[in-house]
Amino acid sequence: MIEKKIFLSERDIPKQWYNLGADLPTPVLPPLGPDGNPITPDMLGAVFPMNLIEQEMSAERWIDIPEEILEILYRWRPAPLRRAVYLEKYLGTPAKIYYKDESVSPAGSHKTNTAVAQAWYNKQFGTKKLTTETGAGQWGSALSFACNLIGLECKVYMVRVSFDQKPLRKAMMATWGGKCIASPSDETKIGRKILKEMPDTPGSLGIAISEAIEEAVSDQTGNTKYSLGSVLNHVMLHQTIIGLEAKKQLEIAGEKKVDVVIGCAGGGSNFAGLSFPFVNDKINGAKIEIIPVEPSACPKMTKGLFSYDFGDCAGMTPLLAMYSLGHGFIPPPIHAGGLRYHGMAPLVSQAILEGLMKPRAYDQVKCYESAIIWAKTEGTICAPETSHAIACTIDEAIKAKEEGKEKTILFNYSGHGLMDLLGYEKFLAGELQSYSLSDEDLKESIEKIKDLPKAEERRTGKW
Amino acid sequence: MIEKKIFLSERDIPKQWYNLGADLPTPVLPPLGPDGNPITPDMLGAVFPMNLIEQEMSAERWIDIPEEILEILYRWRPAPLRRAVYLEKYLGTPAKIYYKDESVSPAGSHKTNTAVAQAWYNKQFGTKKLTTETGAGQWGSALSFACNLIGLECKVYMVRVSFDQKPLRKAMMATWGGKCIASPSDETKIGRKILKEMPDTPGSLGIAISEAIEEAVSDQTGNTKYSLGSVLNHVMLHQTIIGLEAKKQLEIAGEKKVDVVIGCAGGGSNFAGLSFPFVNDKINGAKIEIIPVEPSACPKMTKGLFSYDFGDCAGMTPLLAMYSLGHGFIPPPIHAGGLRYHGMAPLVSQAILEGLMKPRAYDQVKCYESAIIWAKTEGTICAPETSHAIACTIDEAIKAKEEGKEKTILFNYSGHGLMDLLGYEKFLAGELQSYSLSDEDLKESIEKIKDLPKAEERRTGKW
């Protein structure tokens, strides 16, 4: 009998995070300030607490997880590793499909892993309030959850289109004491400016980030900091507990190797969390395919430019070296709100450039089809973001069948879709649109960042 | 270090259900037909398949769980037993609080346990379609989930007030292929009649049951059967896997005894599922307090009459011997839709009469207060139904503190509240009403069943 759930006891939880930055063949390019020079830790101090800035810039391979953070994570961690035997059977594939179930966290996704860590470090530093943005609402919920447990105020700017699609998210954040408002809002200068220019805008993560940062830096006491749910190095770091647990669990399941590792990728954090420990194996010679999956509506990895670009819409952040569609890019209102970000984490971007992983883009309609197959076989309802990983997993499992190859596939079940059922309803009613970024829109969007510092030239030493 | 999650491997799942009916000091009174005589199995055949009718009437103590049913349950079972250490700490109680986490099922509650069993037995019998009612939506979702996996059509009549409060439930059922409509509807005679008399009625479980039964018995081919999510003996039976798993897990946790067992109770199934194996211990001499918790808005156990009464509004079901507020009772629109039923399972009713358990009633405002304490300590968002069990658990833990007694409390975390967040929003906005059934309304409602056969007299042999 195959056990379909592989648990890890609390005492076997990983005690350190893994920093891929220490192992990449070429180091990640530093963030740049407005003058084009690498920024100093002090320059980030208005936005982030110094202990997290140190982590952001750390070159250490392993970083200890404070015991107090573990004590909070035990509420749901270690998260189960599961085997999708019912999907395997349905597909008739010789592939073994494992997935790490991050949907078990109280807020419903992997986001709580870094939310708890960031809230904890901020509390240590003396921060009283955190501001942030949220797309689908997963991150805002996770940070509200963490701030409540740790004793911080929390204010969330939620992208308008998701705010309207998912009204329950606001109530969820409120239950944990978080305050959530739609972005663009009239509570910030940048929000008011955008509302004036584009009163009907669906919003974007870039805009919401600008608003959250503006509120943080406007607090003269310094007691308000900003928290980002993805993209940055320290966020990727906190998520590696996912992949580190998965490795221990695969060992318990008797798996000696993994052939394919898959995750959906918006800013990159759930994907990085699962995959980075396996990227390490790959750097050390293991043969593993590692696939970040993005929506064809927002294809920064497969169609974007590797460039220095701002993390937000208003250009308030440092410049990051990453795959980007341009910080002014406003993606169509696909249901996977968490995958609508214009850029990809520098660590993931760099690993793609090094050939350590190979991105793919999927249309949301195909992803919903996969989500329905999943719901009707494995039984659970996944987040629209997660459906991108499932679509790719199904393709890989079918490929294994066609090739007659045994294969072990591992993907990240990053979150459940219980708050996102309106997307399912639309899909079932045949009302869901396909979206692919046109070459014309791509060109127009990327044109706007062509004068920013060239990252590829610096990376390859041609600058 | 205290492990906060106690897992059971799939190979240790209980292989038999426990039938409390075999052990009650006085047997449960038989259901009666319209003529006042005990009904025969054949008379139930228009509504239920014969294999489930046999289970309903079985006097066996242990009934084997078919391997194919276990194979479906493995998707989420064994469910975790958890220790609420964070709540314990917050309350400063010497009590140990354990809870069985039934929210991990794909449909979000314990209801899937019997949904899978009922769908499977119906499939064996040759049924093609199941009809049912649902209150909060938990049961309708669970049956849609089960019918999809087993290959049956599913039609759900959802109580109007919940249908409106929880629009995502319909999409959830649709994702699994179930069809959900608001009740009363214009698809049945009884529905049309009620809509004509009370066009603005919030509906009730009693009405929805009448509609679902009408649809089933109207199918001349006999291929449509009705499925009930609570109340009946076979439903209680299927749920006992909860308590049987919990016993094994408490042993793993090193607990030699349990002092208090708590569950919320609408029709009684999650409560029975957890508690019946412990009732068995109590019958055999163990000292355990067993507490079913109901809403003060629908207090059949604490204020109702033990009587023969119909299970539905229109009087289409057999008469059951149970605590009841009268089958015409329409409870106020409290958010715990699953606790708005007028009657209590005959097995639970009988156990109360035998002094094996002692019910309590709680107002929904106090329950939401407890749900918020829970969310802010343990971290998760519970169903409004479950909050009744939590409110009582908190009271018991505080009592233990006041008495300075170590105590082991076990309650059933019957479901999550992720689809019920509007209730939280209302509560947080101070807009949630308290409801207690007035003596006048109680009298009026019970008056209507006073001419039905007297159950207490039959039970005590005075008839």
Cα dist from A83 to A6, A134, A408, A411, B80, whole Å: 8, 31, 10, 10, 17
H or E stretch at A413? strand A408-413
Closest by Cα among B335, B417, B410 to B382? B417
Instruction: Provide the mean pLDDT of chain A.
Output: 95
- Residue of chain A whose Cα is closest to the Cα of B423: A171
Q: Which range is least confidently modeled, A312-321, A388-397, B287-296?
A: A312-321
pLDDT of residue A165: 79
Which residues are within 8 A (CB) of A181 and not within 5 positions of it... i.e. 6 or more apart? A155, A156, A157, A158, A187
Q: Which of the pair, A451 or A10, is modelled with greater confidence?
A: A10
In which band, very low, low, confident or very high, does the pLDDT at B463 lie, cut at 50, 70 and 90?
low
Does B152 have pLDDT greater than 70? yes
In which band, very low, low, confident or very high, does the pLDDT at B206 lie, cut at 50, 70 and 90?
confident
> Is the Cβ pair A106, B74 closer than 8 Å?
no
Closest by Cα among A155, A197, A157, A158 to A177? A155
pLDDT tens profile A360-379: 999 999 999 999 999 999 99
Q: CA B350 to CA A343: how far, in whole Å? A: 63
pLDDT of residue B310: 95
Is this prediction's ipTM beyond 0.90?
yes
Does B296 have pLDDT greater than 80? yes
pLDDT of residue A334: 83
Does A231 have pLDDT greater than 90? yes
> Is the Cβ pair B422, A108 closer than 8 Å?
no
Q: Which range is least confidently modeled, A375-384, B361-370, B437-446?
A: B437-446
Q: CA A324 to CA A455: how far, in whole Å? A: 11
pLDDT of residue A462: 73
- Could you tell me if residue A105 is left (phi over 0), alpha (psi between -120 and 50 degrees) or otherwise beta? beta
> Is the Cβ pair A419, B418 closer than 8 Å?
yes
Q: Is B402 exposed, middle or buried (0-12, 13-18, 19+ CB in 10 A)?
A: exposed
> Is the Cβ pair B4, A174 closer than 8 Å?
no
Residue A175 has its nearest CB partner, among B7, B175, B381, at B381
Cβ contacts (< 8 Å) between B376 and chain A: which residues? Answer: 148-149, 176-177
Closest by Cα among A76, A384, A414, A381 to B75? A381
Closest by Cα among B284, B292, B236 to B260? B292
Instruction: Provide the mean pLDDT of chain B.
Output: 95
What percent of chain B has a predicted confidence (pLDDT) above 90?
Answer: 88
Does B10 have pLDDT greater than 70? yes
pLDDT of residue B440: 93
pLDDT of residue B458: 83
Find which of A90-94, A161-165, B200-204, B329-333 is predicted with most confidence, using mean pLDDT: A90-94
pLDDT tens profile A260-292: 999 999 999 999 999 999 999 999 999 999 999
Where do the domains of chain A lie, and which CATH numbers do they carry?
5-12+64-108+234-447 (3.40.50.1100)
Write the DSSP string, A62-116: EEEPPHHHHHHHTTTPSPPEEE-HHHHHHHT-S-EEEEEEGGGSTTSBTTHHHHH
Q: What is the rounded average pLDDT of the residues A8-32?
A: 96
Residue B3 has its nearest CB partner, among A10, A171, A378, at A10
Does B14 have pLDDT greater than 80? yes
Chain centroid to CA A340: how far?
A: 11
pLDDT of residue A166: 82
Closest by Cα among B311, B335, B318 to B132? B311
> Is the Cβ pair B419, A424 closer than 8 Å?
no
pLDDT of residue B277: 98
Does B303 have pLDDT greater than 70? yes
pLDDT tens profile A285-324: 999 999 999 999 999 999 999 999 999 888 889 999 999 9
CB atoms under 10 Å from CB of A409, counted, come to 26
Q: CA A254 to CA A447: how far, in whole Å? A: 50
Q: What is the rounded average pLDDT of the residues B322-348?
A: 91
pLDDT of residue B2: 85
Cα dist from B104 to A57, A105, A423, B139, B415, whole Å: 39, 11, 22, 15, 8
Cβ(B156)–Cβ(B145) below 8 Å = no
Residue A175 has its nearest CB partner, among B1, B3, B424, at B424
In which band, very low, low, confident or very high, does the pLDDT at A330 lie, cut at 50, 70 and 90?
confident
pLDDT of residue A463: 63
* SS3 at position A323: strand
In which band, very low, low, confident or very high, does the pLDDT at B313 lie, cut at 50, 70 and 90?
confident
Q: B175: distance to nearest CA of chain A, Å?
A: 7
pLDDT tens profile B226-270: 999 999 999 999 999 999 999 999 999 999 999 999 999 999 999
Radius of gyration of chain A (CA): 20
pLDDT of residue B4: 94
Q: What is the rounded average pLDDT of the residues A230-245?
A: 98
pLDDT of residue B428: 96
Does B116 have pLDDT greater than 80? yes
- pTM higher than 0.90: yes
Does A167 have pLDDT greater than 90? no
- Whether cis (ω within 30° of 0) applies to the bond prior to B184 is yes
- Residue of chain B whose Cα is closest to the Cα of A3: B10
pLDDT tens profile A420-431: 898 999 999 999
Joined together, the tokens standing for residue B99 give: 């809870």
Q: B127: distance to nearest CA of chain A, Å?
A: 20
Q: What is the rounded average pLDDT of the residues B180-196?
A: 96
Which stretches of chain A sit within 8 Å of chain B by CB?
Answer: 1, 3-5, 7, 9-11, 74-76, 86, 104, 106, 108, 145, 148-149, 168, 170-172, 174-177, 372, 375-376, 378-381, 418-419, 421-422, 424-425, 428
Cβ(A129)–Cβ(A49) below 8 Å = no
- Whether cis (ω within 30° of 0) applies to the bond prior to A359 is no
**Dihedral sign, Cα of residue A48, residue A49, residue A52, residue A57:** positive
Strand A153-159 with A129-134, pairing: parallel
Which stretches of chain B sit within 8 Å of chain A by CB?
Answer: 1, 3-5, 7, 9-11, 74-76, 86, 104, 106, 108, 145, 148-149, 168, 170-172, 174-177, 372, 375-376, 378-381, 418-419, 421-422, 424-425, 428
pLDDT tens profile B393-425: 999 999 999 999 999 999 999 999 999 898 999
Q: CA B408 to CA B44: how far, in whole Å? A: 42
Q: Which of the pair, B135 or A151, is modelled with greater confidence?
A: A151
**Dihedral sign, Cα of residue B292, residue B298, residue B301, residue B307:** negative
C-alpha torsion B3→B9→B12→B17, nearest 10? 90
